[in-house]
Homo-oligomer: A and B are copies of this chain.
Amino acid sequence: MNAGLKVFAPASVANVACGFDVLGFALDKPGDEIIVRFSDQHQGLRITEITGAKGKLPFEVEKNTAGYSAQRLLEHLGEEKRGIDMEIHKKMPFGSGLGSSAASAVAGVMAINELLKRPLEKRALLHFAVLGEQLADGAYHADNVAPSLIGGMVLIRNNAELDVHRLPVPKGLYATVIYPHVKILTRDARAALSDQVSLKKCIEQNGNLAGLVVGLYNSDLDLISRSLNDVIIEPQRAQLIPHFYDVKEAALNAGALGCSISGAGPSIFALSANSLIAENVGVAMERIMTNAKINNELFISPINQEGAIKC
Protein backbone atom coordinates (compact mmCIF):
# COMPACT_ATOMS: atom_id res chain seq x y z
CA MET A 1 0.00 0.00 0.00
CA ASN A 2 1.37 3.43 -0.95
CA ALA A 3 1.62 6.21 1.60
CA GLY A 4 -1.23 8.10 0.02
CA LEU A 5 -1.92 11.77 -0.25
CA LYS A 6 -2.80 13.66 2.93
CA VAL A 7 -4.81 16.85 3.24
CA PHE A 8 -5.76 18.99 6.22
CA ALA A 9 -8.91 21.12 6.52
CA PRO A 10 -9.16 23.48 9.47
CA ALA A 11 -11.84 24.22 12.02
CA SER A 12 -13.71 27.49 11.60
CA VAL A 13 -15.76 29.99 13.54
CA ALA A 14 -19.03 30.90 11.85
CA ASN A 15 -21.29 33.90 12.51
CA VAL A 16 -18.50 35.99 14.12
CA ALA A 17 -20.92 37.90 16.36
CA CYS A 18 -22.71 40.24 13.95
CA GLY A 19 -22.48 38.05 10.84
CA PHE A 20 -25.02 35.30 11.45
CA ASP A 21 -25.02 32.91 8.49
CA VAL A 22 -22.83 35.21 6.36
CA LEU A 23 -19.42 35.39 8.06
CA GLY A 24 -16.80 32.89 9.16
CA PHE A 25 -13.09 32.56 9.70
CA ALA A 26 -10.66 29.66 9.74
CA LEU A 27 -8.35 28.59 12.57
CA ASP A 28 -4.88 27.09 12.21
CA LYS A 29 -5.90 24.21 14.44
CA PRO A 30 -7.71 21.94 15.17
CA GLY A 31 -8.89 20.33 11.94
CA ASP A 32 -9.41 17.09 10.06
CA GLU A 33 -6.98 14.98 8.06
CA ILE A 34 -7.92 12.80 5.17
CA ILE A 35 -5.62 10.42 3.33
CA VAL A 36 -6.52 9.11 -0.12
CA ARG A 37 -4.83 6.72 -2.49
CA PHE A 38 -5.71 4.96 -5.71
CA SER A 39 -6.59 1.31 -5.43
CA ASP A 40 -6.78 -1.28 -8.16
CA GLN A 41 -8.62 -3.67 -5.83
CA HIS A 42 -12.06 -2.16 -6.44
CA GLN A 43 -14.03 0.43 -8.38
CA GLY A 44 -15.27 3.65 -6.84
CA LEU A 45 -14.67 5.44 -3.57
CA ARG A 46 -14.33 3.43 -0.37
CA ILE A 47 -13.80 4.62 3.19
CA THR A 48 -11.28 2.26 4.70
CA GLU A 49 -10.48 3.78 8.06
CA ILE A 50 -11.94 6.34 10.44
CA THR A 51 -10.10 7.44 13.57
CA GLY A 52 -10.97 9.99 16.26
CA ALA A 53 -14.71 9.57 15.80
CA LYS A 54 -15.46 7.08 18.58
CA GLY A 55 -17.44 4.95 16.14
CA LYS A 56 -19.89 7.74 15.43
CA LEU A 57 -19.17 8.23 11.74
CA PRO A 58 -20.50 5.87 9.07
CA PHE A 59 -18.21 4.09 6.62
CA GLU A 60 -20.92 4.22 3.98
CA VAL A 61 -19.80 6.83 1.44
CA GLU A 62 -23.27 8.27 0.84
CA LYS A 63 -23.87 8.76 4.58
CA ASN A 64 -20.45 10.15 5.46
CA THR A 65 -19.92 13.89 5.10
CA ALA A 66 -16.43 13.56 3.62
CA GLY A 67 -17.44 10.60 1.46
CA TYR A 68 -20.57 12.30 0.19
CA SER A 69 -18.84 15.51 -0.87
CA ALA A 70 -15.98 13.55 -2.41
CA GLN A 71 -18.42 11.34 -4.31
CA ARG A 72 -20.30 14.36 -5.71
CA LEU A 73 -17.00 15.81 -6.92
CA LEU A 74 -15.95 12.49 -8.47
CA GLU A 75 -19.25 12.29 -10.35
CA HIS A 76 -18.87 15.86 -11.55
CA LEU A 77 -15.44 14.97 -12.89
CA GLY A 78 -16.66 11.70 -14.42
CA GLU A 79 -14.20 9.83 -12.19
CA GLU A 80 -16.66 7.94 -10.02
CA LYS A 81 -15.37 4.58 -11.21
CA ARG A 82 -11.78 5.21 -10.15
CA GLY A 83 -10.80 2.94 -7.30
CA ILE A 84 -9.98 5.24 -4.39
CA ASP A 85 -9.44 4.45 -0.71
CA MET A 86 -10.09 7.15 1.85
CA GLU A 87 -8.97 7.33 5.49
CA ILE A 88 -10.64 9.91 7.70
CA HIS A 89 -8.79 11.12 10.78
CA LYS A 90 -11.06 13.34 12.87
CA LYS A 91 -8.76 15.54 14.86
CA MET A 92 -11.35 17.92 16.18
CA PRO A 93 -14.44 17.61 18.35
CA PHE A 94 -17.94 16.98 16.97
CA GLY A 95 -20.83 19.22 17.87
CA SER A 96 -18.52 21.87 19.24
CA GLY A 97 -19.61 24.76 17.01
CA LEU A 98 -16.25 24.73 15.28
CA GLY A 99 -17.33 23.46 11.88
CA SER A 100 -16.41 19.81 12.32
CA SER A 101 -18.62 18.55 9.52
CA ALA A 102 -17.50 21.40 7.27
CA ALA A 103 -13.85 20.45 7.84
CA SER A 104 -14.62 16.85 6.90
CA ALA A 105 -16.52 17.89 3.79
CA VAL A 106 -13.74 20.24 2.74
CA ALA A 107 -11.04 17.66 3.40
CA GLY A 108 -12.99 15.14 1.32
CA VAL A 109 -13.16 17.28 -1.82
CA MET A 110 -9.68 18.68 -1.33
CA ALA A 111 -8.20 15.17 -1.11
CA ILE A 112 -9.91 14.01 -4.29
CA ASN A 113 -8.94 17.15 -6.20
CA GLU A 114 -5.29 16.81 -5.16
CA LEU A 115 -5.24 13.09 -5.92
CA LEU A 116 -6.55 13.81 -9.42
CA LYS A 117 -3.88 16.54 -9.93
CA ARG A 118 -6.17 19.51 -9.38
CA PRO A 119 -8.72 19.33 -12.18
CA LEU A 120 -10.58 22.19 -10.44
CA GLU A 121 -9.51 25.43 -8.83
CA LYS A 122 -9.92 25.51 -5.07
CA ARG A 123 -12.92 27.85 -5.18
CA ALA A 124 -14.71 25.54 -7.61
CA LEU A 125 -14.66 22.85 -4.90
CA LEU A 126 -16.88 24.97 -2.68
CA HIS A 127 -20.19 23.74 -4.03
CA PHE A 128 -19.25 20.07 -3.50
CA ALA A 129 -18.04 20.68 0.04
CA VAL A 130 -21.24 22.57 0.83
CA LEU A 131 -23.21 19.53 -0.37
CA GLY A 132 -21.36 17.49 2.26
CA GLU A 133 -22.17 20.08 4.91
CA GLN A 134 -25.79 19.95 3.79
CA LEU A 135 -25.83 16.19 4.36
CA ALA A 136 -24.64 16.75 7.93
CA ASP A 137 -26.61 19.87 8.84
CA GLY A 138 -29.53 19.92 6.45
CA ALA A 139 -28.72 23.42 5.17
CA TYR A 140 -26.81 24.55 2.08
CA HIS A 141 -24.56 26.87 4.08
CA ALA A 142 -21.01 27.98 3.41
CA ASP A 143 -20.25 29.92 6.57
CA ASN A 144 -17.98 27.15 7.89
CA VAL A 145 -17.12 25.45 4.61
CA ALA A 146 -15.86 28.54 2.79
CA PRO A 147 -13.32 29.64 5.45
CA SER A 148 -12.19 26.02 5.97
CA LEU A 149 -11.58 25.69 2.23
CA ILE A 150 -10.11 29.04 1.22
CA GLY A 151 -8.97 30.35 4.61
CA GLY A 152 -9.20 33.83 6.05
CA MET A 153 -12.22 35.82 7.12
CA VAL A 154 -14.93 35.16 4.60
CA LEU A 155 -18.16 36.94 3.77
CA ILE A 156 -20.85 34.78 2.22
CA ARG A 157 -23.10 37.48 0.74
CA ASN A 158 -25.55 34.84 -0.33
CA ASN A 159 -25.36 31.16 0.55
CA ALA A 160 -27.57 29.91 -2.29
CA GLU A 161 -25.41 31.74 -4.84
CA LEU A 162 -22.13 30.91 -3.02
CA ASP A 163 -21.24 34.57 -3.45
CA VAL A 164 -18.12 34.36 -1.30
CA HIS A 165 -15.52 37.05 -0.57
CA ARG A 166 -12.25 36.99 1.36
CA LEU A 167 -11.91 40.00 3.64
CA PRO A 168 -8.61 41.50 4.70
CA VAL A 169 -7.59 40.87 8.29
CA PRO A 170 -5.46 43.26 10.37
CA LYS A 171 -1.95 42.01 10.98
CA GLY A 172 -1.69 40.19 14.27
CA LEU A 173 -5.39 39.49 14.76
CA TYR A 174 -5.68 36.38 16.92
CA ALA A 175 -8.52 34.10 17.90
CA THR A 176 -9.11 32.39 21.22
CA VAL A 177 -11.69 29.63 21.29
CA ILE A 178 -12.88 27.69 24.30
CA TYR A 179 -14.87 24.52 23.80
CA PRO A 180 -16.75 23.64 26.97
CA HIS A 181 -17.69 19.97 27.07
CA VAL A 182 -21.42 20.46 27.16
CA LYS A 183 -23.79 19.15 24.57
CA ILE A 184 -26.03 21.43 22.53
CA LEU A 185 -28.37 19.69 20.19
CA THR A 186 -28.63 21.39 16.83
CA ARG A 187 -32.39 21.29 17.15
CA ASP A 188 -32.22 23.14 20.49
CA ALA A 189 -29.89 25.75 19.02
CA ARG A 190 -32.32 26.25 16.14
CA ALA A 191 -35.42 26.17 18.33
CA ALA A 192 -33.94 28.93 20.46
CA LEU A 193 -34.14 31.31 17.51
CA SER A 194 -37.27 33.28 16.81
CA ASP A 195 -37.99 33.48 13.10
CA GLN A 196 -38.88 37.14 13.55
CA VAL A 197 -36.57 40.02 14.46
CA SER A 198 -37.47 43.59 15.32
CA LEU A 199 -36.63 46.02 12.53
CA LYS A 200 -34.62 48.01 15.07
CA LYS A 201 -32.38 45.05 15.92
CA CYS A 202 -32.03 44.18 12.26
CA ILE A 203 -30.78 47.71 11.52
CA GLU A 204 -28.41 47.56 14.48
CA GLN A 205 -27.00 44.22 13.30
CA ASN A 206 -26.70 45.59 9.74
CA GLY A 207 -24.71 48.55 11.01
CA ASN A 208 -22.44 46.33 13.06
CA LEU A 209 -21.72 43.93 10.22
CA ALA A 210 -20.96 46.76 7.80
CA GLY A 211 -18.86 48.39 10.54
CA LEU A 212 -16.91 45.17 11.02
CA VAL A 213 -16.20 44.94 7.28
CA VAL A 214 -15.01 48.56 7.22
CA GLY A 215 -12.91 47.91 10.32
CA LEU A 216 -11.28 44.90 8.66
CA TYR A 217 -10.50 46.87 5.48
CA ASN A 218 -9.12 49.82 7.45
CA SER A 219 -7.37 47.76 10.17
CA ASP A 220 -9.40 49.85 12.62
CA LEU A 221 -9.32 47.72 15.77
CA ASP A 222 -11.58 50.07 17.74
CA LEU A 223 -14.21 49.90 15.05
CA ILE A 224 -13.86 46.11 14.88
CA SER A 225 -14.36 46.00 18.62
CA ARG A 226 -17.46 48.23 18.58
CA SER A 227 -18.89 46.17 15.72
CA LEU A 228 -18.32 42.68 17.18
CA ASN A 229 -21.70 42.80 18.82
CA ASP A 230 -24.52 40.38 18.09
CA VAL A 231 -27.85 41.85 19.14
CA ILE A 232 -29.99 39.14 17.58
CA ILE A 233 -28.66 35.60 17.92
CA GLU A 234 -26.42 35.67 20.98
CA PRO A 235 -29.15 36.87 23.37
CA GLN A 236 -31.33 33.96 22.24
CA ARG A 237 -28.69 31.24 22.41
CA ALA A 238 -26.56 32.35 25.34
CA GLN A 239 -28.65 30.46 27.88
CA LEU A 240 -27.76 27.18 26.17
CA ILE A 241 -24.13 27.65 27.19
CA PRO A 242 -23.45 27.56 30.92
CA HIS A 243 -21.52 30.63 32.13
CA PHE A 244 -21.48 32.19 28.66
CA TYR A 245 -21.78 35.75 29.95
CA ASP A 246 -19.12 35.18 32.60
CA VAL A 247 -16.72 33.88 29.97
CA LYS A 248 -17.52 36.81 27.70
CA GLU A 249 -16.99 39.33 30.46
CA ALA A 250 -13.71 37.69 31.43
CA ALA A 251 -12.53 37.74 27.80
CA LEU A 252 -13.38 41.41 27.33
CA ASN A 253 -11.79 42.30 30.67
CA ALA A 254 -8.64 40.49 29.56
CA GLY A 255 -8.50 42.75 26.51
CA ALA A 256 -10.38 40.91 23.77
CA LEU A 257 -11.82 43.06 20.97
CA GLY A 258 -14.99 41.03 21.06
CA CYS A 259 -16.39 37.70 22.20
CA SER A 260 -19.43 35.70 21.15
CA ILE A 261 -20.71 32.22 20.37
CA SER A 262 -18.84 30.20 17.74
CA GLY A 263 -21.36 28.87 15.26
CA ALA A 264 -24.29 27.38 17.15
CA GLY A 265 -22.07 26.81 20.21
CA PRO A 266 -21.16 25.62 22.72
CA SER A 267 -17.71 26.94 21.76
CA ILE A 268 -17.08 30.59 22.53
CA PHE A 269 -14.62 32.63 20.49
CA ALA A 270 -12.83 35.89 21.13
CA LEU A 271 -10.75 38.03 18.80
CA SER A 272 -7.74 39.95 20.07
CA ALA A 273 -5.26 42.44 18.66
CA ASN A 274 -2.30 40.09 19.12
CA SER A 275 -1.23 36.67 20.35
CA LEU A 276 -0.22 37.88 23.82
CA ILE A 277 -3.67 39.27 24.52
CA ALA A 278 -5.21 36.15 22.97
CA GLU A 279 -3.23 34.02 25.47
CA ASN A 280 -4.40 36.17 28.38
CA VAL A 281 -7.95 35.96 27.11
CA GLY A 282 -7.59 32.18 26.98
CA VAL A 283 -6.43 32.01 30.59
CA ALA A 284 -9.37 34.16 31.66
CA MET A 285 -11.94 32.11 29.72
CA GLU A 286 -10.51 28.83 30.94
CA ARG A 287 -10.57 29.94 34.57
CA ILE A 288 -14.32 30.54 34.44
CA MET A 289 -15.09 27.13 32.96
CA THR A 290 -12.63 25.29 35.18
CA ASN A 291 -13.98 27.00 38.32
CA ALA A 292 -17.42 25.90 37.24
CA LYS A 293 -16.04 22.36 36.90
CA ILE A 294 -16.80 22.21 33.19
CA ASN A 295 -14.23 20.30 31.19
CA ASN A 296 -13.00 22.34 28.30
CA GLU A 297 -10.47 22.67 25.52
CA LEU A 298 -8.74 25.86 24.52
CA PHE A 299 -7.52 26.77 21.03
CA ILE A 300 -5.43 29.84 20.34
CA SER A 301 -4.73 30.61 16.70
CA PRO A 302 -4.15 33.38 14.19
CA ILE A 303 -6.73 33.69 11.45
CA ASN A 304 -5.72 30.85 9.14
CA GLN A 305 -4.98 32.38 5.74
CA GLU A 306 -4.45 29.17 3.77
CA GLY A 307 -7.53 27.10 4.42
CA ALA A 308 -7.33 23.48 3.38
CA ILE A 309 -3.88 22.26 2.34
CA LYS A 310 -2.08 19.22 1.05
CA CYS A 311 0.26 18.20 3.87
Contacts and interface: CB of A to CB of B under 8 A. Distances in A.
Nearest to A211: B157
Interface stretch (A63-71, A196-204, A260-268, A285-293): A196-204
A197 B195 contact: no
Most buried by B among A20, A197, A205: A197
A20 to B, nearest CB: 6
A195 B195 contact: no
A156 B207 contact: yes
Contacts of A158: 204, 207-208, 211, 226
B226 A163 contact: yes
B202 A205 contact: yes
Contacts of A214: 155, 157, 165, 167, 213
Contact of A157 (B167, B208, B217): B208
A235 to B, nearest CB: 13
Interface string A134-165: 00000000000000000000011110010101
A193 interface: yes
A55 to B, nearest CB: 36
Contacts of A22: 203, 206-207, 210
Contact of A155 (B19, B163, B165, B211): B211
Nearest to A18: B206
Interface string A4-42: 000000000000000111110000000000000000000
A232 interface: yes
